Structure 1
Amino acid sequence: MVRSGLEEPLNTHADHFNTNYAYSVASYSKGSIFMEQLGYIVGAQVRDKVLLEYDTKWKFKHPNINDLIRLSEKVSGLKLDWYQEFWVNSTKTIDYAIDSVWEQNGKTNIRLRNEDLMPMPIDLVITTKNGSQELHHIPLDLMYGSKPAEGPIKRTEHPAWHWTSPTYTINTDLKLSEISQIEIDPTKRMADVEQANNVRLF
C-alpha cells in the first residue's frame, strides 16, 4: 500500500476514501497493525491489559480513537498522542536502519539512522559468534518513559532518542570480531517499510 501511493490517513471517513483498496487496507490491515505495533511500543502484556480494560469500559458504546489512546496512556503510563498523530492522522512511514558499525577503544559503536518521517522506540539485538545475545532498548523521548522489559534476554536501556534527531549511537563492550549479527526489531512488530537495512551480518 505504501509503495502504491494510494494510502490515505487511517482517520479518513469511510465514504471519503478515493479507492476501495485504500479503504480496505486502512479499515482492516492498518488497524490490525496499529494494535500489534502498540504491543511493541508499550509491551505486549500492557497492550493486552489495555484491550481488556477497553472492552470493559466501552462495550455497547461508541468510542473513537481518542478514547483508545487516552485509555492506553492511563494503563501504560506512557504518552501516546504522537502515535495517534503519526499512525492515524497521517501516512508517514517508518524506516530505521543500521547506519554504521565501528570499533573504538575495545568497544563496538553502532549508529542507527531514522530514514523516514515517523519516530519510534527501538529494540536492537546483538548476537555474538558464540550464540549469546544482548538486547538494547532506546525509548522515544515523546513517550516520557519506556515499556517494561520483555522476554528472557537481559535488557540495557539507553537515554531517549529525540524524535528530531536523525541518528543515534549506542555502544557495547563486545569487540567487533565477537559479533555475528546486529538487528533492529528482531520480533518484527514494527511496521518498518524497508526491513533489509535492519540487519547487519558479520
Structure 2
Amino acid sequence: MKTMKSNDILSEKQKLILELLKRNNIDKLKDFINSLETPLYFLNSTNFDLLTLALSLNCSFYIIKLIFNRCNYKTLNYVVKDIYHLYDMKVLMYSNNNVKSPLLLSLEFSDFQSVELLINKGADMYFKINGKYILEILREENLLTMRKLNFLLKNGFSIKNLRLNDSAILNLNISKSA
C-alpha cells in the first residue's frame, strides 16, 4: 500500500502558501494573496486550514491577523486533524493529540497576542476537543503553565465553569515555566 504524502494531495497554491508561511514573510504573503483570482479562504479544506497552519508555524501576529481577516472565519471553534503538511506522518501516528483548534495552538506556543485576538473574535475557552477541555489537553501535553492560566483567568476564564471531577482539578500539574 502506497503511503500518501502531503505533496500528493496539496494543490499548487496550497504548496506555495505553505512555503510562504514557513518563511514568515508578510510582504510576499500579501503579494501572493493579491495575485489570487479566488478568495483566500478557498484554499482551506478539511485538513488544510491557513489559520491553524500559521499558528502551528508560529508565524508573526501580523500574518495571523491577515489570514483571519482575509479568510472570513464564521467560527473559531473548530478543529483540524493531522496538520500533516508540517510533520512526519510516523510521528503523528504516535501523537496523543493530533487534533488542534486555533486557540489550542496559540496557547501551546504561548502566543498571547493571538490568544487574545482569537478570544475577542469568539474563540470559546471552554471548547472541547475529543471530549476534553483545552486546559486538560495543555495539562496532558505538559504545556499548562501559571502564565497561561493567569492569562486565561484575566480574559474571563473560570475553572468553576469546567465540569471536571475533583481529582482532575487537583491534578492540573501547572508548571512554573513560561
Common fold: TM-score over 0.5: no
If each structure's helix is expressed as a fraction of its own residues, which one has the higher value? 2
TM-score by length of 1: 0.22
Structure number with the bigger relative contact order (C-alpha 8 A, sep ≥ 6) is 1
Query: Quick check: which has more Rg, 1 or 2?
Result: 1
TM-score by length of 2: 0.24
